[in-house]
Amino acid sequence: MKGKAEQTTQFIISTVAPIFNRSGYYGTSMSDITKATGLTKGAIYGNFKNKEDLAFAAFKHNVDLVVDRIKSELIQIDSPVDQLRALLNFYRRYRAYTLEIGGCPILNIGVDANHQNSELLAKVQEVVKKSQNYIRKMIELGQASKEIKSEIDPEQYTKRIFALIEGAIFMAVTMNDDSYVNDMMNHADRLLDEELIN
């Protein structure tokens, strides 16, 4: 069971995580944070070193929500190819799912932190690398099980698939049009069928 201090810390993170995700690091003021949590500035700083420390925790919280959701959908699937297809299906519904947390944390915080907060940008880049490693592992396992062609370059296709996903999300959010995601996930499915699968 969590102690009171740990519960307070978690309450602050879960309350302000969507605010940071929507408004960005500089767009989120301490008054936004105290108003949302009902806590004083002193109480916030009693749990976090500074605003940046809280922003890191908020970003991690939002990413963990997305990762946990992906893992829960893929955990029962044995085939690497079927896992890749399930991942693409997840992203077809991703925008609706992330509305409650303020949108895609990688996209939102990555754009916000670029040229403004190098440490926060480094956290985003770390998550991107982990996400790409997850896709690459599926491809490599598919090659090991002979579901995926041995001659294809896992790193190259990992970057292509991830760029299709994030680029489609960016366009869907920017244009308020989910057809970008559906079209690109269909394209990624064809990529699997025509270029990756044995």
* Confidence grade of residue 116 (pLDDT, cut at 50, 70, 90): confident
Between the alpha carbon of residue 94 and those of residues 4, 51, 69, 164, the distances in Å are: 34, 28, 10, 14
Q: At residue 114, does pLDDT exceed 90?
A: no
Contact call for residues 191 and 161 (beta carbons, < 8 A): yes
Which of the two residues, 10 and 116, has the higher pLDDT score? Answer: 10
| Cβ-defined contacts of 107-110 (< 8 Å, 24+) | 107/166, 107/169, 107/170, 107/173, 108/21, 108/22, 108/24, 109/20, 109/21, 109/24, 109/25, 109/59
pLDDT score for 2: 65
Evaluate if residue 8 carries a pLDDT over 70. yes
Tokens of 189: 């499915």
Q: What is the mean pLDDT of residues 34-60?
A: 95
- Please report the pLDDT score of residue 42 as a whole number: 93
pLDDT, residue 4, reads 83
Task: Find the mean pLDDT for residues 126-150.
Answer: 97
> If you average pLDDT over residues 183-189, what whole number do you get?
97
| pLDDT tens per residue across span 92-103 | 999 888 988 999
- Statement: residue 144 has pLDDT above 80: yes
Residue-wise pLDDT tens digits, 23-44: 999 899 999 999 999 999 999 9
SS3 60: helix
Give all domains of the chain, ordered by start, each with its CATH number: 59-196 (1.10.357.10)
pLDDT > 70 fraction of the chain, expressed in percent and rounded = 99
Average pLDDT value over all residues in the chain: 94
pLDDT at 69 over 90: yes
pLDDT value at residue 198: 86
